[in-house]
């Protein structure tokens, strides 16, 4: 997933996802033309949950997720830490499941010291 997107890029990405969801629902309804309102609603609800999860990921991960040009300082030894990778974890929310990401830093000077996410 791309990181640090501008607001307009995040918005465009969301609109693309919403459009895809709508098109999928159209296709589903084409294949289930006898579906009741409740069945259509149920299908829409399931897809809405996926869409909301993706929306939240865009909204949160598209902003600052902890990467710093100037690496943070180790709280144990005072040396500069090194960026290792982005770590992801799944949050099961009320509206959808979202994979959040945070920058993960380690200290190469003291044993396995980590800071996750780095905070001042
Ligand atoms: Zn250290």
Q: Residue 75: its pLDDT value, please?
A: 85
Instruction: Tell me the chain's radius of gyration from C-alpha atoms.
Output: 20
Q: What is the mean pLDDT of residues 57-80?
A: 82
Find the 48 Cα to ligand 1 centroid distance in Å: 44
**Residue of higher predicted confidence among 74 and 36:** 36
Residue 1 has pLDDT above 70, yes or no: no
Residue 119 has pLDDT above 60, yes or no: no
Q: Residue 120: its pLDDT value, please?
A: 47
Cis peptide before 2 (omega within 30 of 0): no
Residue 3 has pLDDT above 80, yes or no: no
Find the 89 Cα to ligand 1 centroid distance in Å: 25
Of 70, 66, 105, 99, residue with least CA distance to 85: 105
Q: DSSP state, 73?
A: B
Q: Residue 15: its pLDDT value, please?
A: 96
Residue 104 has pLDDT above 90, yes or no: no
Mean pLDDT comparison of 38-42, 53-57, 76-80, 102-106, highest-scoring range: 38-42
3-state percent breakdown (helix, strand, coil) of the chain, nearest 5: 40, 20, 40
Find the 82 Cα to ligand 1 centroid distance in Å: 10
pLDDT band at 96 (very low <50, low <70, confident <90, very high): confident
DSSP H or E segment with residue 48: helix 37-61
Evaluate if pTM is beyond 0.85. no
Find the 49 Cα to ligand 1 centroid distance in Å: 42
| Nearest-angstrom CA–CA distance, 99 and 23 | 24
């Amino acid at each position: 997933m791309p990181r640090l997107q501008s607001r307009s890029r995040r918005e465009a990405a969301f609109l693309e996802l919403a459009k895809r969801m709508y098109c999928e629902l159209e296709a589903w309804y084409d294949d289930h033309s006898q579906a009741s309102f409740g069945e259509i609603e149920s299908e829409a609800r399931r897809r809405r949950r996926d869409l909301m999860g993706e929306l939240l990921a865009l909204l949160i991960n598209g902003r600052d997720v902890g990467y710093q040009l100037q690496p943070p300082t180790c709280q144990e030894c005072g040396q500069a830490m090194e960026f290792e990778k982005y770590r992801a974890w799944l949050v099961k929310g009320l509206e959808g499941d979202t994979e959040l990401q945070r920058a993960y830093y380690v200290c190469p000077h003291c044993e396995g010291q980590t800071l996750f996410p780095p905070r001042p």
